[in-house]
Amino acid sequence: MANMKWKSFNGIPLLVTLIWIVAFAASLHFLDKSVLAFLGILSSIVLVYYTNTSKAIKMVIGAAVLLIIIPLVAGDNRYYMEVASQVGIYVAMALGLNIVVGFAGLLDLGYVAFFAAGAYAYAIFSTSQANEFIAGNLFPLSGEWFWPFLIVGLIVAAVFGVLLGLPVLRVKGDYLAIVTLGFGEIIRIIFNNLDKPINITNGPQGITPIPSPELFGIKMGTPFYFYFIVLFVIAFIVLANIRFEHSRLGRAWIAVREDELAAQSMGISLLNTKLAAFATGASFAGVVGVIFAAKQTFIDPTSFTLMESIGILVMVILGGSGSIPGVVLGAAFVTILQVQLLKEFSNFLHSLQQSGIINLPNQLDPSKFQRLVFGIMLILVALYRPNGLIPAKRKKNDLDAIKASKFGQAKLGILSKISQISSGKQS
Amino acid sequence: MLLNILPQVLVDGLTLGFMYAVVALGYTMVYGILEFINFAHGEIFMVGAFVGTEVLLITDALGALKGMNPFVALFITLVVAMALTGGLGVLIERVAYRPLRGAPRLVPLISAIGVSFLLQDLVRFTEALARNEFYLNTPTLFTSSISLGGVATIPAKGLVVIVLAIVMMVALTLFVNKTKWGIAMRAVAQDRSTASLMTINVDKVIMLTFLIGSSLGGATGVLFAQNYGTIDPYIGFILGLKAFTAAVLGGIGNLRGAMVGGVLLGLLESLSGAYMGPLTNGAFGAEYKDVFAFSILILVLLFKPEGLFGEAVKEKV
């Protein structure tokens, strides 16, 4: 029944989407600091995705919302742009992990290690930290170096990905999950303790101040600029995701995910395919790590815990692993839940507490509910939507149509030979 | 100089190792039967530690703990903790794992990670509500210690850990090898569908596995709290991971392997914690001992994935 209804649903009419966008943009512009209106604008992207029009129009509206409307109505508000760029960072990371988990089916619980590699690469060389082990007082580098370091971060993380992948890929399934988890922890412990014998990462104190990016002498230190940088990177990663999905390599990934043995017997090199997945996913995380370091201007090992890895995994699986729009939605949803909804809720409870309506111990602050919420979400998704909110679409061949087509009539392979032989005997 | 502390390091390592060994049994039992890593097992251990601590704190608050024989107190604590964690294990299996039995292998793993996060926050929550803090100090039952010829001292609590761990392991081995239910468990581990044809109730056997594994984990939690004094809701995850390492080291699905793996890992960790600093002139200290444990995990999985006692499984085509 439900399925029938779903099929008759052809998407939201274009007009509704446009009214939604205009209404929330206007209310965000006129109302002062309305979080609801801001969420409305962000969620209009989902509406655009489900709108009943052609792909091109959807793209145009989506781009207009992201590039013009959001910066225009929320751009002067530091907080909104901060949230938006934060969402963007996680979307980019989740898209990177999507290649490893969604396409190639390799459950990676240490993904944040690559993110850390990128972040530390930029942090170490853009501050005076590098002087600790490189002679000649060459550092800190200026913010202009941010741009080349996007590539450096990519390469460093990809190298990390290959290094991790080479030994680890001999194991599979849940063993792989455990091994990557262990590897992530090892990396974190090493970053946490590499302040001796040579001070490379400055240990638990972390590294600061990491310079903001500069372009033609303009200092791009505010969330407003990061929003655009992140959007640019996301566009790049989405494009890469799409191109990979339909490439020879992408199809090999999916084949490996579905059945390793079958893929291997069809001539796919397991090692190369898996390594490529690891390296690609890792390199995207490295790029995002560089942006993250520049945005925070401070990094320390606590930003790269197992919790982060799991958070990104939750995003991918909640949204629908292997499905690009699903992953974007999942990442946006989880990040907003974390940075905004839970915080708003705890602010609300605080205000109730101050007015004396309820009495809540400090430990019950909902902004600390993160694990609980993650836990419940993971269980519910596993039980009820194991394919995620927007499951990956699969190209399906209609067998009946093939059988009914004119090519279906002719006998193929051995059968055709048999019929030939038998017809030859008759004549 | 370095050799002077060796006996003490070995004693500490043994205590830790037996703790790993008992927790590893839970992983191995579930893996042997369902071929799935019960990620939440470490959290069940943590719940056991909290239940035990709460029982002791409450009896203490009632004034009953002072005059009580420490063994009686420990016995009561263990019974309560084992009953509760055993029930919790069965409940988790029923709610989060059983509906997923036919699903692809990653799905129950994700559900298990979810359960483990849920338990961490639930415990943090309840403790924050009840006691306004979630780092608890356990009342120590055994304070005396035995000197071993002046080279090492075994604290009585450590001895209790070792003895009880051995008792639990022997009891479990006897149960699995001698009783009807144990034979049923082994049959289900061999082949679920054939076992069900032999009138074995597979669901019940799996429930029993979770009951026993979880209650052993919970009991170890109590022992952990006794031995280390302070607990928090996050102790389960890392310890669980190491216990899993122990299970893998010995050959997962193999009870004897889990025990040997646990003891080995405990000894290795203790040795590396004590000697890494002095041997490398302070360049790499005890903070790298976890790196050691995880490196062992990775190396074993790479070079001998079947573990020390397991048999290599040929892939069926």
Q: Average pLDDT, stretch B215-242? A: 89
pLDDT of residue A1: 41
pLDDT given for residue A131 in this prediction: 74
Q: What is the mean pLDDT of residues B287-295?
A: 80
Quote the DSSP letter at residue A232.
H
DSSP classification of residue B137: E
What's the gap in Å between the CA of B283 and the closest CA on chain A? 5
SS3 state of residue A84: helix
B290 contacts in chain A (CB < 8 Å): 185-186, 189
Look at residue A2 in the predicted model and tell me its pLDDT: 45
Residue B56 or residue A127, greater confidence:
B56
Among the partner residues A179, A369, A386, nearest to B298 by beta-carbon distance: A179
Instruction: Please give the distance of CA A155 from its chain centroid, rounded to a whole number.
Output: 19
* HSE, side-chain direction, 13 A CA sphere, residue A57: 12
- Report, as ranges of residue numbers, the positions in chain A whose pLDDT lies below 50: 1-5
* Contact by Cβ (8 Å): B90, B214: yes
How far is the alpha carbon of A381 from chain B, nearest alpha carbon, in Å?
8
Phi, then psi, of B148 in degrees rounded to 5: -105, 85
Given a cut of 80, is residue B187 above it in pLDDT? yes
Span of A125-139, B53-67, B221-235, B269-283 with lowest mean pLDDT: A125-139
Is residue A114 a contact partner of residue A285, using CB atoms and an 8 Å limit? yes
Mutate to test the interface with A, among B27, B121, B300, B306 (most CBs of A within 10 A): B121
pLDDT at A378: 85
User: Is there a contact between A117 and A301 (Cβ–Cβ < 8 Å)?
Assistant: no
Inform me whether the pLDDT recorded for B208 exceeds 90: yes
d(CA A61, CA A63): 5
- Secondary element (H or E) of residue B251: none
Question: Measured between alpha carbons, how far is A213 from A293 in angstroms, rounded to an integer?
Answer: 10
In this prediction, residue A364 carries a pLDDT of: 66
pLDDT-based confidence at residue B316 (cuts at 50, 70, 90)? very low
B130 shares contact with chain A (CB less than 8 Å): no
Q: Cα(A35)–Cα(A347) distance, rounded to whole angstroms?
A: 13
Look at residue B30 in the predicted model and tell me its pLDDT. Answer: 86
Above 90 in pLDDT, residue B88?
yes
d(CA A318, CA A332): 11
Q: Tokens standing for A82? A: 């901060």
Hey, what amino acid is at A63?
Answer: A
Euclidean distance between CA atoms A72 and A25, whole angstroms: 9
Does the pLDDT at position B317 exceed 70?
no
Report chain A residues whose CB lies below 8 A from the CB of B317. 261
- Residue B57 CA to its chain's centroid (Å): 23
Choose among A306, A97, A365: nearest CA to B113.
A306
Measured from the Cβ of residue A131, the count of other Cβ atoms closer than 10 Å reads: 14
A 86-105: CB under 8 A from B: 105
Helical axes A146-168 vs A173-193, angle rounded to 10°:
130
pLDDT at B77 over 70: yes
Helix and strand totals (H; E) in chain B: 11, 4
- Residue whose structure tokens are 């062992």: B296
Alpha helices in A320-369 (DSSP H): 324-336, 342-354
Does residue B26 register a pLDDT over 50? yes
Amino acid B93: pLDDT:
93
Q: What is the mean pLDDT of residues B48-70?
A: 87
Length of chain A: 427
Q: Which of A174, A375, A379 sits opposite B36 (nearest CB)?
A: A174
Q: Rounded distance, CA A204 to CA A121, Å?
A: 16
d(CA B18, CA B209) in angstroms, rounded, equals 20
pLDDT above 90 as % of chain B: 26
Residue that the structure tokens 């709108």 belong to: A51
Greater confidence (B199 vs B104) lies with B199
- Predicted confidence at residue A90, as pLDDT, reads 92
The answer on pLDDT for B105 being more than 80 is no
Residue B118 is predicted with a pLDDT of: 92
Cβ–Cβ < 8 Å for B253, B306: no
Check CB contact of A168 with chain B, cutoff 8 Å: yes
Cβ atoms within 10 Å, residue A249: 19
Rg (CA), chain A: 25
Element of type H or E holding A383:
helix A370-384
The span from the CA of A52 to the CA of A15, in Å, is 10
Beta bridge partners of B155: B145
- For residue B311, the model assigns a pLDDT of 64
Would you say B243 and B294 are in contact if contact means Cβ atoms under 8 Å apart?
no
Give the pairing of strands B152-155 and A218-219. Answer: unpaired
End-to-end CA distance of chain B: 57
Partner residue opposite A382 with nearest CB, options B114, B124, B298: B114
When pLDDT is averaged across residues B65-88 and rounded to a whole number, the result is 89
Residue B151 has pLDDT above 80, yes or no: no
What is the pLDDT at residue B310? 67
Q: Is A141 on the interface with B (CB under 8 A)?
A: no
pLDDT score of B78: 93
The full length of chain B comes to 317
Answer whether A41 touches B (CB < 8 Å): no
